[in-house]
Structure 1
């Protein structure tokens, strides 16, 4: 199995210690080999809407906040890619959908991984394939019976 290391950067002070849940999620997904990505260091950043909006503006010429931004692998730099998720977005969207916050944040991490695995969501056909793959991964994580819990500080 290709090597994968995780670099987790929690820039969101109200997110309580996401490292263990993030490791469990990505190690479970990687070990399944169901949606392989390039080996190397996978960088994950948890940020606010303001921070992700800045990244969105700087790299995609769109100054609005979004849920997740994924930067592709760079084999020369031994990078498996970078996933940036908005904790604000996950929190507000979870409340809108009456879903657990942890599940919504996990979905964003899964979505980023799937982009690295070659999935896209720019058109309707690709979006449908992405949604199906997201559900497969969430089912895989549920079946693994690992504790993947993300929490906001009270």
Structure 2
């Protein structure tokens, strides 16, 4: 558990493809939630292998393919007085789950020429942004989401490798 009372981050690591720095993931989640001005959050972060993530993708979204991250918003309440137009998480109390594939992170890290840990961190950031209300279904929304991802990674001085969408 993290030390920031307003954010509860629970991590379940059920894979053996990479070692997980739980403290870094908690710090990243809290940093993102703070920068989005989220009021409170109770987040479950689960790290699995490809077959498990694919099974969950099939079971809950009826998608029969491997994926890097799944996000499930379980509850969201918004205080209208705390909303900020440019921050989709502002004023929200969130409960959600982010599920990421460590196996996918290992495979794609080599392609993008950076560490599997950074690739996994990107999946966590992406999933949390979905919980905050960002989307990637249109080109404009995707560009906004990519910009927010990079702003979070700027905190660690990391440049996210360019991706073909």
Q: Matched residues in 2 for 1:133 and 1:56: separation?
A: 25
Q: Which runs of 5+ in 2 are unaligned?
A: 78-92, 159-165
| TM-score, normalization by structure 2 | 0.76
User: Please, which moves more after superposition, 118-127 or 36-45?
Assistant: 36-45
Structure with greater helix share of residues: 1
Q: In the alignment, which residue of structure 2 is the partner of 1:146?
A: none
Aligned 1:1-154 pairs, distance under 5 A: 3-30=6-33, 33-37=34-38, 39-75=40-76, 80-142=95-157
Q: Shift in Å at residue 42 of structure 1?
A: 0.5
Deviation for aligned residue 1:2: 7.5
SS at match of 1:9: strand
1:46/1:84 contact within 8 Å kept: yes
SS in 2 for 1:121: coil
TM-score (normalised: structure 1): 0.81
Following TM superposition, by how much is the alpha carbon of 1:29 offset from its aligned partner in structure 2, in angstroms?
2.6
> Unaligned 5+ residue runs, structure 1?
144-154
Distance 1:115 1:79 in 2: 11
8 A Cα contact 2:18 2:117, kept in partner? no
Distance 1:49 1:36, change over 3 A: farther
> How far apart are residue 75 of structure 1 and its match?
4.9
The answer for the alignment partner of 1:151 in structure 2 is none
